[in-house]
A and B are shown apart, each in its own frame.
Chain A
Amino acid sequence: MRLWGRLCGVLTARAILALILGMTFWAVAPLVLGWTTTTVMTGSMQPAIAPGDLVVSRPASTGDLQSGHVLLGRDPDHPGRLRLHRIVRRDGNGFVTKGDANPDPDSSLLDSSAVIGVGCIRVPYVGTPILLASVGDFGRLIPLVAAVGLVVWLSLTPAVRPTQREEGPTSTTHSHPPGRKAGGRVPVDGFSRRIRARSECRRHRRLLETSGIALTLALIALPGAAFAEPFSASVRSSGSFSAATARPPDALSCRNNADGTATVSWSYTGQRPLDFDVLVDGRGSLARVGSDTREFVIKPSSPFSFGRTSVIRIRTNLTRDWTAGTAMSVNVTTTTLLWFGVARCT
């Protein structure tokens, strides 16, 4: 029974090794064609592509690329690194890409010139040792390597022990004499010679197999140099800036006073200004009044000529440069005789 268990174990190990080597073949063979194999380092493309996968990308002309394709390109955000993300859309001369598991598209465009290829073969799990080694997770790498080593060792052990002919079958219920099927016609001398020759031959074969496996493992390590897929997350806060607009006073009015002066008054609802200017005839400023002032008294002593009518406007000065004057105006006529005079709204 132990011998059957051994046979099953060895055959299973051989099948597993063949599975691993077969999968590795799909990842490594395309390198001959000049295709690119990369090890997926993060889960930003999950669930389609998982960390530890090997992804083979074939060169593609950018004209053939369309949204949904998984693009491999040189990451503009990280010199020397590769980005393996899905195309969302074409944008000018580049591509907007997004990791399936990332909430937002990548902020930086992948330029056409940075495109290496388009993903076409995914070999699951085989890149796991490269992933674990590069993140330094030796707690899992060592058992994994040990397990693979065990599989390799098991598959190289003979499935049946060469000494079994001498021991004979463990079961006694069978009627056939022991060793008949296994070549019992061979004389004992020749048999032992053959065993020796066979073990010699087996040693050579084992050497060949081991070096073949070592070569393959070295080839798996090749794509480890380039690793793909950035993981990203972003958060934002808005900013809004708006500049004030100088607003002219509204409702300009003029009233006559008993003492022969006239008062120009205005109302204002805008932002508190620096001050107001009282403008005469659209030329200079007659006076500058404070920001809380809403009226200005025009006295006849002002240097007006006889019977002269002036156009009065008010200007809001938010700053010295940011100003706004009223479109409307009031007219004030001053008449001065000697030192007496009157200013009257007209």
Chain B
Amino acid sequence: MHAPTPKLARLGTLTAIPLALLGSGVLVSTASYSAFSATTSNAANNWTAGTVALSNDLPNSAAFTADNLKPGSAGSNCIVVTSKGSLPAAVKLYATTASQTNSLGSWINLHVTQGTGGGNGTCNGFAALSNSASYNNTLDAFINNSTNFSNGFGDWVTSGGASEPRTYHISYDVASNAPSSAMGGTVKLNFTWEAQNQ
């Protein structure tokens, strides 16, 4: 068998390189087509570059069902939110699908503090974290001004990897000067925690 000659090597190179360049075009156009022509979004998939995941101890159920409120009424609940994602993420709390009648939200004060302990419907064992942000405003302000991740409340940044819990102590009180026009009013909202990777 002959040894390869420089001429053959040149010929091989001159064939292989254009073929590879053509292949790169095909690869890029195929990838582009599959990425940008789909008009429907796909269901969750296996994520290779890490995840962001949140859970709480009251998923999609009621944190508060406070009825028959009148001036001076107050209550609280502690909700443990757990980050299980592998990526470091910032977590914000905000209101979604909120509605109110009789401007009741203007007369309910909302306080949120972050800490550890408690949960499962009780605040026994809750300890507030020092140096963490707390929310103090009316429920009306919360549902109107904290509506998405960018204007949500909280300064929790998870480190990612291990499961990491944080307790949100949420309390409310109805202003003692709430007028009778607020009688029979309602406020409904979802307390939504969202994590986004850093």
Chains A and B bind each other = yes
A residues bordering B, Cβ < 8 Å?
A: 1, 3-4, 7, 10-12, 14-23, 25-26, 41-43, 45-53, 55, 67-70, 76-78, 86, 88, 98, 100-103, 106-109, 119-124, 131, 135, 158-160, 164, 168-171, 173-174, 181-182, 230-246, 271, 318-319, 321-323
Whether the pair A23, B24 counts as a contact (CB closer than 8 A) is yes
Task: Determine the chain A residues whose CB is within 8 A of the CB of B23 once the complex forms.
Answer: 19, 22
B residues bordering A, Cβ < 8 Å?
A: 1-10, 12-13, 16-21, 23-25, 27-28, 31-32, 34-36, 38-42, 44-56, 58-72, 79, 81, 85, 87, 89, 94, 96, 102, 104-105, 108, 139, 147-152, 170, 172, 174, 177-180, 182-197
Whether the pair B35, A122 counts as a contact (CB closer than 8 A) is yes
Task: Determine the chain A residues whose CB is within 8 A of the CB of B6 once the complex forms.
Answer: 158-160, 182
Which single residue of chain B is at the shortest CB-CB distance from A108?
B148
Q: A70-B35, A243-B186, A321-B71 are in contact. Are A237 and B63 (CB under 8 A)?
A: yes
Whether the pair B149, A108 counts as a contact (CB closer than 8 A) is yes
Whether the pair A16, B20 counts as a contact (CB closer than 8 A) is yes
Partner of A101, one of B19, B47, B55, B66: B47
Which single residue of chain A is at the shortest CB-CB distance from B185?
A243
A20 CA / B20 CA spacing, docked (Å): 9
Q: Which interface residue of B41, B151, B183 has the most chain A CB atoms within 10 A?
A: B41
Tell me, rounded to whole Å, the shortest Cβ–Cβ distance linking A40 to chain B: 9
Partner of A42, one of B49, B55, B71, B108: B49
A174 CA / B1 CA spacing, docked (Å): 7
Q: Which interface residue of B32, B56, B64, B85 has the most chain A CB atoms within 10 A?
A: B32
Tell me, rounded to whole Å, the shortest Cβ–Cβ distance linking B181 to chain A: 10
Which single residue of chain B is at the shortest CB-CB distance from A6?
B4
Task: Determine the chain B residues whose CB is within 8 A of the CB of A50 once the complex forms.
Answer: 48-49
Tell me, rounded to whole Å, the shortest Cβ–Cβ distance linking B161 to chain A: 13
Q: A77-B150, A236-B190 are in contact. Are A319 and B72 (CB under 8 A)?
A: yes
